[in-house]
Structure 1
C-alpha cells in the first residue's frame, strides 16, 4: 500500500462528516436489508444473494474504513475502497432499484476520504449508480428510453460534481486566505523586529550624538581656553616679568603693568564670551579684515614687533564660524611668534578668492623643522641645551597647532606649515568660502 499522505478534505470536512461515514452507511444498509426482506418475502423470492451482497458490502466498509482509521489518510487505499464499494452498490441497484436509497453513503465517503480530483471521479460514479436506480422504471429498448436514462444520469451527475467543484474552489480560496494571513503575520513579525532594531539603533545614535556633543564641546572649550586664557596669562606673565626688570624705571614699570592689566581684562572678557559660545569681541563690530588689523596692531604694540597686514581680493561677508576660525588662527600664530620665533617682522595676508578664503602668517624668525617636531604649539625652544620640543616639561603643551588644525579642518579646510631653521615660518589656513552674499 502507498505511503500516508494528509488529505485536504479530511482537515476541512473531518469533524463535520465523520459521524456520517461511521454510522449512517450502516443504518442505511440495515434499512435496505429490512426493505429487501419484506419485499422478497411478499413475492416469495430467494434472499440468499441479496443478503450475501449486503453482508459483503457491510464487511467491506467495516474492514477498509471502520476498523482501520489509519488507512483513511492513504489516497490509494481509499480509492480502492471507493471503487469496490461503487461496484457493490451498482450490483445491488441492478438487482433491486430501491438500493438507490443507499447511494448517499457513497457520497459521504467520497466527500470525506478522497482528495481532489479523485473525489470528482468517485462522486461521478456514485451519481451514475443513483441515476440508474432512479431510471429503473424507464424502458431502455428505444431511443426515448435511452435519452430519458441519460437525462436522469445528467440530473444526478452535474449537480453533485458541481457541488464538489465549488467545494474545491472554496478550499483553494481558504488556503489562499490562510497563506495570505500567514504572510501578513510574518510581515508584522518582521516589522516588529525591525522597529525594535530601529529603536535600538536610534538609542545608540542618540548616545553617540550625546557623546559626540560632549566631545565637541570639550574640544571647543579647550580651544577657547587656549586661545583666550592661556595666551592672555602668557602675555600677563611676560609683562609682569618685564616690569620686574624695570622696577627702577617707573615709566617703563608702569607701562608693563598697564599692559598686563589690559591683557587681564581682555582675557576675562574673552573667557566669558567663550563660555557663552559667543563670537570674539573683535568680530562683533568689524569685518574679519578689520578685526585682524586690530589684533595685529595690539600684538605689535605689546611685543614691539612690526606686523604688516594685507587683504587681497574683494572682501565679502563670511559665515561666522569661518571668521572665528581664521581670527583664532591668526591669534595663535602671532602668539607662537612671540613665544618661539624671535622674529623682527611678521606678515599677515588675508586672501579672498572665488571659492575659498585663505590666511597666511609669515615671520622671519629662527624657524624649525616641522617633520622633526610635529604639530606642536610652535617652534622648539633654544637655550643652552639646544632645541627642545615646545611641549617638553608641560603637560598639555603643544596644543596650539592642534587647535588650529581642528578649527580649520572642521570647516573642510586645510592647514599647512612651512618652516626651516634660520629661514622663518609660514602658516597657511585655507577654508572653502560661502557663496557671495551669504550673511556673516
Structure 2
C-alpha cells in the first residue's frame, strides 16, 4: 500500500466515523436518542475499529470483509429504522463497499447498501405517492456510483504503482547481482583456472588462490550491501575518483592487466545514484575487457564538465561489432542505470581495434 492510498483510506475511515458521530449528536440534540440506539451506534463504531481499522491487510478480501460489511449495513438499517438522525451515517458508508470488498462484489455491496437505506428510510413505500422520492433515489445512486468510480480509480492507481515498483526492484536486484556476484564469480574462476595452469609452481598457485579469496570476500561484502540498497563499498570509503582508482587497482591485480586512471576537470560531489552508476560502469567495462576482450591494457578517464560528467573505459582488446546482438546482461544493466539518471551509454568498437565505452550523465 503506497502513501497516497493510505491517505485516502484514512480519509474514508474518518468520514465514516465522523458521520456516525454526527448522527449520534443529532439524535441527542433532537431528544430522540435512547440507550439502545446509542448502544448500537457505539457497537457499530467499535466493530469498525476492531475489524476494519486494525486489519488493513484484509481490505478487499471477500472473507472476512464481506461479512463485516453485512454487519455494518445491518446495524445501519436498525439505527435508521429507529431514528432518522442516523441517515447522516449513510453518507459515511458510501465508500465502504468499494474499500472493503473486491471487484464486482463491491458493486453488489453498494446496491445492497442503497436498497437497505431505501427500505429503512421508508422511501420504498412512498414511491407511488411522492414523485420526489425518485429524485432522492437517483441522487443517492448517482453519488454512490461516482464515489465507487473514484475509489476504484485510487485503488487501480495504487496497484499500478506497486507493479511498477516491483518491476523496478527486480531490475535493481538483477543489476546488483550482475555487478557483484556475477563479476565476482568470473574473477574467482579466472584465478582458479590460472592456478590450475600453474600447478607446478606452488608459489604462483598460492598467489592466485589468495587473489581468488580476496575477490570472493569483496564480492560477498558488495552483495550484502547491494541487497540492503546501500552505496557501493568503495564509495563509502572515498570520493568517486579515489573509488575508481581503488577498483582499477584491485581489478588490475586480479586480472594481471595494467590500468591507468585519469581525471579531467574539478571533482565535485555528485548524487549517490550518479556516482553508483559511474562506478558500476567502470567495474563492468573492466570486467568485459579482461573476460571477453583479452585486453593487455585498459584506461579509465573521469571528466567533470559544467553540465555533465562522463566516464570513458578504453581497452586494446579484440573488440566487437556493436551492431550485432550482445550476449549477457552487463551492457543492458548499465544503460538502465544511466537512463534512470537521465544519462546515456555509447559503445565504439570494431573487431581487432579495442573498445571504448562512454557513460555520460547530466549534472548541471
* TM-score, normalising length: structure 1: 0.51
Q: Identify the residue that residue 361 of structure 2 maps to in structure 1.
A: 431
- Cα distance in 1 for residues equivalent to 2:153 and 2:270: 37
Q: Identify the residue that residue 46 of structure 2 maps to in structure 1.
A: none
- Cα distance in 2 for residues equivalent to 1:199 and 1:219: 30
Unaligned runs of 5+ in 2: 1-130
* TM-score, normalising length: structure 2: 0.61
Task: Select which of 324, 331, 345 maps to 2:276.
Answer: 324
- Cα distance in 1 for residues equivalent to 2:296 and 2:188: 21
- Cα distance in 2 for residues equivalent to 1:361 and 1:187: 68
**Does 1:260 find its partner at 2:212?**
yes
**Does 1:418 find its partner at 2:348?**
yes
Structure 1 ranges of 4+ moved more than 6 A: 184-188
Seen in structure 2, the aligned counterparts of structure 1 residues 185 and 432 have a Cα distance that, compared at 3 Å, is farther
**Does 1:359 find its partner at 2:311?**
yes
Alignment of structure 1 residues 82-93 onto 2, 5 Å: none
SS of residue paired to 1:417: strand
Q: Identify the residue that residue 234 of structure 2 maps to in structure 1.
A: 282
Per-residue CA deviations over 1:378-411 (Å, capped at 9, x if unaligned) read xxxxxxxxxxxxx3xxxxxx10101111111111
Task: Select which of 388, 391, 400 maps to 2:330.
Answer: 400
- Cα distance in 2 for residues equivalent to 1:259 and 1:275: 24
Per-residue deviation at 1:242? 0.9
- Cα distance in 2 for residues equivalent to 1:200 and 1:316: 47
Per-residue CA deviations over 1:8-47 (Å, capped at 9, x if unaligned) read xxxxxxxxxxxxxxxxxxxxxxxxxxxxxxxxxxxxxxxx
- Cα distance in 1 for residues equivalent to 2:137 and 2:266: 66
SS of residue paired to 2:199: coil
Alignment of structure 1 residues 18-417 onto 2, 5 Å: 191-372=143-324, 374=325, 376=326, 391=327, 398-417=328-347
Task: Between the two structures, name the one with larger relative contact order (CA 8 Å, sep ≥ 6).
Answer: 2
- Cα distance in 2 for residues equivalent to 1:411 and 1:188: 49
Per-residue deviation at 1:216? 1.1
SS of residue paired to 1:341: coil
Per-residue deviation at 1:190? 5.0
Seen in structure 2, the aligned counterparts of structure 1 residues 204 and 365 have a Cα distance that, compared at 3 Å, is same
The count of residues paired between Structure 1 and Structure 2 equals 233
Seen in structure 2, the aligned counterparts of structure 1 residues 195 and 354 have a Cα distance that, compared at 3 Å, is farther
Q: Which of the two has higher C-alpha Rg? A: 1
Unaligned runs of 5+ in 1: 1-177, 377-390, 392-397, 436-440
Seen in structure 2, the aligned counterparts of structure 1 residues 194 and 352 have a Cα distance that, compared at 3 Å, is farther
